[in-house]
């Protein structure tokens, strides 16, 4: 009568072989899987850092940009990345010698103008551009805020200025 005294020394039991297959006891496979996991964690950390920085819209240290037009005294502060579902604010410093602000196409089609602070005394459309004339209280630089609602997603070139000269900047609108 034969007695089963356990596995033969040097050979794993069938149960142990099955268990090792379940936990993937193949060092090369484990190294590949660990590498994939580390890359995945790195990608998630990069996405989280970009979101915290404001690169997906909604604020953050990298979200806002101020563009200065040298000696003219014109400056515009705007969000680089905006959401289609959220209004955005452009803060514009007009030079002391001008009271006109012009927003040209395609910005007038890509952004709905919700509010202008202070209100212009004259607002008219000229060749696809919104021309706004403001009442100046003194000769100091004037601040104007435009509250806009992005209409379509994409990267948009925006042209804004005083009419005599214009500057262009980019805004990325996310859905």
In three-state form (DSSP H/G/I as H, E/B as E, the rest C), the secondary structure along 69-104 is EHHHCEEEEEECEEECCCCEEEEEEECCCCCEEEEE
To the question of pTM greater than 0.85 for the whole model, the response is no
pLDDT tens-digit series, residues 103-147: 988 888 888 989 999 999 999 998 888 999 999 877 777 899 999
Where does residue 42 fall: left (phi above 0), alpha (psi -120 to 50 degrees), or beta otherwise? alpha
Which single residue is written with the structure tokens 């262009």? 168
Mean pLDDT of 26-50: 85
């Amino acid at each position: 009568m034969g007695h089963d005294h356990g596995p033969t020394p040097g050979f794993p039991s069938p149960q142990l072989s099955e268990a090792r297959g379940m936990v993937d006891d193949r060092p090369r496979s484990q190294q590949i899987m660990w590498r994939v996991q580390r890359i995945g964690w790195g990608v998630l950390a990069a996405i989280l850092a970009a979101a915290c920085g404001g690169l997906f819209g909604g604020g953050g240290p990298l979200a806002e940009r101020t563009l200065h037009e040298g000696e003219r005294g014109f400056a515009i502060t705007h969000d680089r990345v905006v959401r289609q579902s959220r209004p955005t604010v452009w803060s514009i410093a007009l030079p002391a010698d001008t009271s006109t602000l012009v927003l040209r196409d395609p910005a007038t089609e890509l952004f709905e103008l919700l509010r202008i602070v202070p209100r212009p005394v004259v607002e008219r459309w000229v060749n696809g551009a919104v021309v706004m004339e403001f009442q100046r209280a003194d000769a100091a630089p004037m601040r104007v805020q435009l509250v806009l609602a992005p209409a379509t997603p994409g990267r948009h070139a925006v042209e804004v200025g005083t009419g005599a000269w214009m500057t262009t900047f980019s805004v990325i609108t996310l859905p």
